[in-house]
Structure 1
Amino acid sequence: MLVLSQLTTRATIRHARHALRTGLPKPRAANKPRTLVTEAVQQASNGFLDLALAIPFPEYIPPYSGTIILLTIASRLVFTVPFSIWAKKRQWKAEEVVVPQLKNERPAIFQRVLEDMRKEGFRGTKEEAQKEHTKRAKPLLQARQKELSKEHGCSMLPTMLIPPITQLPLFVGTSLMLGRASLPPTVLDSESFLTFTSLSHGDPTGTMPILLGVLTFANVEASRFFMTPEARQREQQVAEWTAKRRANGETVIEPKKIFQTTLRIASLGRILIALMVPGSIQLYWVTSAAFGLVQTWVLDWWDYQRRRSRTLTEETAAAASASPKKSPAEAPAAVTRSQTNKRVLRIKQ
């Protein structure tokens, strides 16, 4: 009886969709000339509605809401997670290969700059000489870092830009598809879910837009949850170094802080934008933000465990190399019983 009831319900929804498509007047958007983009969005919208009826959801899960959540998770797993892992591995290569090699080459670069200053006959106070030395060495270090990053295939710009760029078409395309599916007349108008009274209208309570802003803000701050003590100490040293340079009148640009501040402001902007879109898009955005937060936590936890393992390995190796080797006189008398018996027999003989 339960299966028969589900089939009857789905058949009723199909008939309702057919009636909405043929019997009711078409929306104004349909009178506009169709383009390749609008046609693709319309086809994707129809495919989404058909897929929602084809998936055998339980009765307590609304078909269209469940399909939005399922499609969001599946698309993020297929299209965004691989690029995020790719970027994380490039970041590890930069930290484990490029940074140590650049650190080893830094004294030679400093020495070369110092020799050039001596050849040019630079004159000035100690502070002026240090400032000039730093000014000349900085572009050389940056150029060498770019060369090493390119050589080892871990350039910073592609690592930072490719993951969000690959996610953007998916995000925009899915939002357009759901927006088209929510245009009246639509069957989404009759489905409610959580705080939504209808998927074709926004959340009347404003809960979902606020939740979207909270998830976006948490995603920005998530990287601090799994910071190692060494990373926190290094961050504090960088902050002190930056404050000291600014006190000396230097202009210091911190791209990471600028990027994080921009994302914090964007989390508030997403709340305002989400208030103006249909409930189907709000549900998609909230699900995508929640998935992104979990993905960030997992990758940061993976990074934390990797750093911790490396630190323990380095400490163990350093302790083993620093410990003095014991001489035979200091070594414990670890003689086996057979060797002891042989010595006793020799004494007796």
Structure 2
Amino acid sequence: MFSARTALATLRPSLRPTRCTPRCHPPHRTFIASTIHSLSEGFLDLATALPYPPGWPPYSSTIILVTVVTRLAFTAPFSVWAKNRQWRAETIVIPQLKSEMPAIHKQVQQDMRKAGFRGDKNAVVAEVNKRSQPIATKRRKELLAQHSASPMLTILLPAASQLPLFVGTSMVLSHASATPTVLDSEAFATLTSLAHADATATLPILLGIITLANVESSRWFVSAEVLQREQQVAKWTAERRARGEQVLEPGKISQSALRLLSVGRILIAAMVPGSVQLYWVTSATFGLFQSWALDFWDMRRRKRVAPPPATGPKARRSA
């Protein structure tokens, strides 16, 4: 009898309310998740509200339109700003520093004579170059700061302006493509659905080609002065390596890294939804044409504007 009651008691539901564990509560959305959700809903509403011509895919057209508008509004101004800073560095700072180098070498030679330096011609030249380099580097930093052309800020700020927009838009479109979604019913080009990746991998491959074209076409509008300076730097680099010195070439390293990035973007793009793939291809295409336009504008400006007169010690002595 006692055992039967015990068995029934174990089967009887408890009248005491069970304590709810943290898992019982619905998960709270963070600020970022709520923002992404709101932007995703806003994107879908915008796509249905815009008066596209009949036959135009509304969501794909909105992705392209939003990409172009946001790039023009948020990233293009920083790119123009960076191009102006680069132009001042190449047309003002470098020529002025070049005009001051003879005076720097002369001052270094005088200091070496006062210090009683002795050696053959090669030793003297090597010592002059060694002592002149930190002076020239310091003077270069002064000129860059004077003309607001610091290369670090010129490189970092455009990238910093593009990264939040790129990541944020990708997250919004990825959230909008989560099942169930209306994007599943729209096809575009080789995409059978904006909610799924391109089965033919055409868009990812196109993305890699556009990225690589942006890297390689950067040499199309290089001026003769820049080419001459690069040849001189290459000559100095070869001479230093012949002496057994280790020389790093940041330009070639960055070019190789960007080429590798072109391949990496193909692999990553193949795993994201079609809406994100379309956004990435559109953004890369905009960046390619923007680079061409800015480089062409810079080339035309170099032809119109004469180099500024030298203001170094040599020019002051001749005056």
What's the TM-score bracket when you normalise by the shorter of the two chains? 0.7 to 0.9
Counterpart amino acid of 2:218? S
2:66 aligned residue: 71
SS in 2 for 1:195: coil
Q: CA deviation at 1:112?
A: 1.7
Q: In the alignment, is residue 82 of structure 1 matched against residue 77 of structure 2?
A: yes
* Aligned counterparts, 1:233-312, within 5 A: 233-310=228-305
1:93 aligned residue: 88
* Aligned counterparts, 1:1-349, within 5 A: 32-310=27-305
Q: CA deviation at 1:244?
A: 2.2
The answer on whether the counterparts of 1:52 and 1:63 sit within 8 Å (CA) in structure 2 is yes
1:343 aligned residue: none
Counterpart amino acid of 1:195? T
Counterpart amino acid of 1:222? S
The answer on whether the counterparts of 1:228 and 1:308 sit within 8 Å (CA) in structure 2 is no
The answer on whether the counterparts of 1:90 and 1:159 sit within 8 Å (CA) in structure 2 is yes
Counterpart amino acid of 1:238? V
1:230 to 1:105, Cα distance in 2 relative to 1, 3 A = closer
Q: CA deviation at 1:230?
A: 4.2
SS in 1 for 2:117: coil
Counterpart amino acid of 2:136? L
Counterpart amino acid of 1:205? T
SS in 1 for 2:179: coil
Query: Quick one: distance in 2 between partners of 1:231 and 1:255?
Result: 16
Counterpart amino acid of 1:64? Y
1:159 to 1:294, Cα distance in 2 relative to 1, 3 A = same
Counterpart amino acid of 1:207? T
The two structures have a TM-score, normalised by structure 2, of: 0.85
Gaps of 5+ in 2: 1-25, 309-319
Q: CA deviation at 1:175?
A: 0.4
Query: Quick one: distance in 1 between partners of 2:54 and 2:220?
Result: 39
SS in 2 for 1:78: helix
Counterpart amino acid of 2:124? A
Q: CA deviation at 1:221?
A: 1.2
SS in 2 for 1:153: coil
Q: CA deviation at 1:251?
A: 2.3
Query: Quick one: distance in 2 between partners of 1:38 and 1:54?
Result: 24
Counterpart amino acid of 1:169? P
Number of equivalences: 283
